[in-house]
Structure 1
Amino acid sequence: MAILTEAEDETKTQSPTPPENKPQSQSQSPFPFWFYFTLIVSLATLIFVSLSLFSTHNDPRSWFLSLPPPLRQHYSDGRTIKVQVNPGESPIEVFVAESGSIHAEKVLIVHGLGLSSYAFRETLKSLDSKGIHGVAIDLPGNGFSDKSRLVIGGGDDGDEIGFVARVKEVYGLIQEKGVFWAFDQMIETGDLPYEEIIRLQKSKRTSLKAIELGSEETARVLGQVIDTLNLAPVHLVLHDSALGLASNWVSENPQIVGSVTLVDSSVSPALPLWVLHIPLIREVLLGFTFGFGKLVSLRCSKEMALSEIEAHRILLRGRSGREAVVGSLKKLNHSFDIAQWSGSDEINGIPMQVIWSRGGSQEWDEEGRRVAEALPKAKFVTHSGSRWPQESKSGELAGYISEFVSLLPRSIKRVSEEPIPENVQKLLDEAKAGGDHHHHHHAHAGYTDAYGLGEELTT
């Protein structure tokens, strides 16, 4: 009986224990939440500070100082001008390289997507030696021209800003409103107040948007560059995919186009830019000279030196260059019909020349024959290089261009007749009234060139 009594006593003493543990677990439940919440906020702070420090090494100044000497020298030899790509947007900077006398025939070289004026630096020197004033442009999104623009304010609701940017906006609003504001919102709604965050942050959101070029945007850029540099009338040299980009401007301005030379021109660029849209592959190709060099030698040129390949890789990779050219590739008119374009009334009277590679693949030879058939009036010549001949065959390329331009009538332009200033008109009237022939002659001659009296023709 004593044993039974002890068992009953032990049972009685142990039975109250479980109820005492429940209130302890309930009272400790808020602490793990705040611990992990504080930990997450701290980690987010550390990540964003690290990202900001990393981004300082990718600003334009740091990027320029990290360039190899040939690229920096090319930039120093050129100049930048302001253009407006789209109405209502802020102007951007476009880089141009020039060589030769401004009084000579003017040739404007327009590169294809993925290239820049740097590819034609030797061609410009060769044109200069042959008495041609050459200009090579970096289309926006390429080379040293602006590749992105700052967008202030939110876009449409469907705009994708990326996961990191979304987290950063959430974190920024929590910093502004305080952690308890976010916690209160979570208690009330049962979820993170993301809609409220979007509404508050959209008005002050800033981001860099890659500049994407289509034929309309390119036409505006070319027009402004030609006007600013006073190149009209101009001989155009369109390389690679530049034909599809510049065709609209040529059609709209045939009166100031002296001639058009197509250098291995096709609807699609020689460099397969679509692969730069694929994650991981694009990092490998643009991150290492070896991978990018293999791509260039396979599709574009087998004669390029490693240093030249590296320069093109750097320009394509830096300052959102990849995003810009991939976006421009999507805007290309892949259904462009060169025969229909050349047969239009606007283009029909423009002298044309086609310079084509004879060292390419069989498919590229067939493409050359197709272009020749579409342009029956064009002069057709072949060069000994690849689809990017400007690097290794710059002298040969410049020779064909200068020879073709020299065979054409010398470019002339009519000076537009401007209103004569009032004080000048007064002098002319007084001279005429006085009947002094000698005075009248000098008064008129002194202002002929300055104000464009009459219809003088100048070279």
Structure 2
Amino acid sequence: MIAKIVRWSATALLVLCLLLVGTIAALRLAASFRETADRDELAPPSGHLVATRRGRVFVQEKGAAEGVPVVLFHGTAAWSELWRQTIDRLAAAGFHVIALDLPPFGFSDRPGRYTRRDQAARVNDVLMALHAAPAIIVGHSFGAGAATELAMRFPERARGLVLVDAALGLTAPPADPPWLLEPKWVREILVSLTVTDPLATRFLLRSLIGKKDRALPQYVEILQRPTRLRNSTPDIADWLYYFVGSDLLAESADRKAYARLHLPVAILWGEEDTITPRDQARDLQALLPVVALTLLPGLGHIPQIEDPDMFNDALLKVIAKL
């Protein structure tokens, strides 16, 4: 009797494993069939490509050419269009808005190197090509790392820095990427199950925001659109390896470097953020020599879509001070 139970359990486990492997393989194959579009089919006409030494960067500009530049860095899996309401509001206030797609997301080229140093150098090339005056640099979430790196390595580019729910990794011990993610095929499976899976987009968006009802179809569509580009899953799998490590060579990963950041800094933070809790904002505030912290009540990790009016009012207020 016991032997029969053991054999039955082993058979059931084997079947479950085969079903799991089959499901994962099917999802990865589905990603390949889904990712067939070209940039010209999907990119908004309001943007253009700017050549850099590290690939072309897709940029959306709006506002008076003579206005103070405001450069917008988006977070993980987002792109410049997620800033749309902020772009319009800043442009209406007289600023020259420069919203860019940090590769491998959005419609920029995907050159395969995505450290903060690479991203900062890439954006520095963009600002040089655009002949931009010193700018207010705004970095959201994971994009805050590249934004801070730009301000640290190219201080002549920045007249002020605004960090929005910044995922800088300063409160966690430095670590290399886990060995399990070294094979690219493993990372491709993870990406095909999350970032590039259209069935997962709304769920992931809801998990990031405090106001769950703001996971609107328009935002889901924005996030999904670039993932239909050719080779999105393998390209984002390259980036994932950088994402899960600590980027140890980045100045912005060094807690001591923040005391040497001699420019005005403002922090905007969703009070209900569970991805980068507000304790991280307090920690960051303590590291910086000159800083103003504004907590946004009721908002989570992506305040610019959760309550655009509240967020844009707060952003304009701190920019005026900067």
TM range (shorter): 0.7 to 0.9
Q: Deviations over 1:143-163 (max 9, x none)?
A: 011125xxxxxxxxxxxxxxx
Secondary structure of the equivalent of 1:83?
Answer: coil
> Does structure 2 conserve the Cα–Cα contact (< 8 Å) formed by 1:113 and 1:329?
no
Decide whether aligned partners of structure 1 residues 393 and 98 sit closer, same or farther in structure 2, where only a CA change above 3 A counts.
farther
Query: Hey, what's the Cα distance between the residues in 2 that align with 1:229 and 1:279?
Result: 35
After the TM superposition, which residues 5-404 of structure 1 pair with which residues of structure 2 at under 5 Å, given as runs? 58=36, 60=38, 64-65=40-41, 67=42, 72=43, 75-85=44-54, 92-148=55-111, 211-267=112-168, 277-278=186-187, 282-286=191-195, 288-300=197-209, 302=212, 303-332=214-243, 334=246, 337=253, 339-344=255-260, 347=261, 349-361=262-274, 364-375=277-288, 377-384=290-297, 385-404=299-318
Q: Which amino acid aligns with 1:374?
A: L
Unaligned runs of 5+ in 2: 1-31, 170-180
- Whether the aligned pair in 2 keeps the contact of 1:338 and 1:374 (CA below 8 Å) is no
Number of equivalences: 270
Residues 297 and 374 (structure 1), Cα distance of their counterparts in 2 relative to 1, 3 Å cut? same
1: CA distance between counterparts of 2:276 and 2:109? 35
Instruction: Go from structure 1 to structure 2 and tell me whether the alpha carbon gap of 1:277 and 1:298 turns closer, same or farther (over 3 Å shift).
Output: farther
Greater shift in the superposed pair: 284-293 or 248-257: 284-293
Larger radius of gyration: 1
Distance verdict in 2 for CA 1:281–1:106, change over 3 Å: closer
Contact preservation (8 Å) 1:141, 1:212: no
1:439 corresponds to: none
For 2:34 and 2:204, the matched residues in 1 are separated by 31
Question: Contact 1:358–1:382 (CA<8 Å) still a contact in 2?
Answer: yes
Cα distance in 2 for partners of 1:320, 1:260 equals 34
Contact 2:105 2:226 in 1 (8 A): yes
Indicate the SS of the match to 1:76.
coil
RMSD: 3.0
Distance 1:290 1:405, change over 3 A: same
Summarize the Cα distance change of 1:341–1:397 in structure 2 as closer, same or farther, 3 Å threshold: farther
* Sequence identity percentage: 19
Q: Structure 1: which amino acid aligns with 2:207?
A: L
Matches of 2:36 and 2:51, distance apart in 1:
23
Q: Which runs of 5+ in 1 are unaligned?
A: 1-53, 86-91, 149-210, 269-273, 409-459
* Distance in 1 between residues matched to 2:274 and 2:101, nearest whole Å: 28
Q: Is the 8 A contact 1:112 1:241 kept in 2?
A: yes
TM-score (structure 1 length as normaliser): 0.53
Structure ranking higher on relative contact order (CA contacts 8 Å, 6+ apart): 2
- Measured after TM superposition, the shift of residue 398 of structure 1 is 2.5
User: Helix, strand or coil: the match of 2:306?
Assistant: coil
Query: For 1:130-177, what per-residue CA distance to the aligned partner results, in whole angstroms no more than 9, with x for missing partners?
Result: 2222110012321011125xxxxxxxxxxxxxxxxxxxxxxxxxxxxx
1:58–1:112 Cα change, 3 Å: same
Bigger proportion of residues as helix = 1
One-letter amino acid of the counterpart of residue 403, structure 1: K
1:317–1:249 Cα change, 3 Å: same
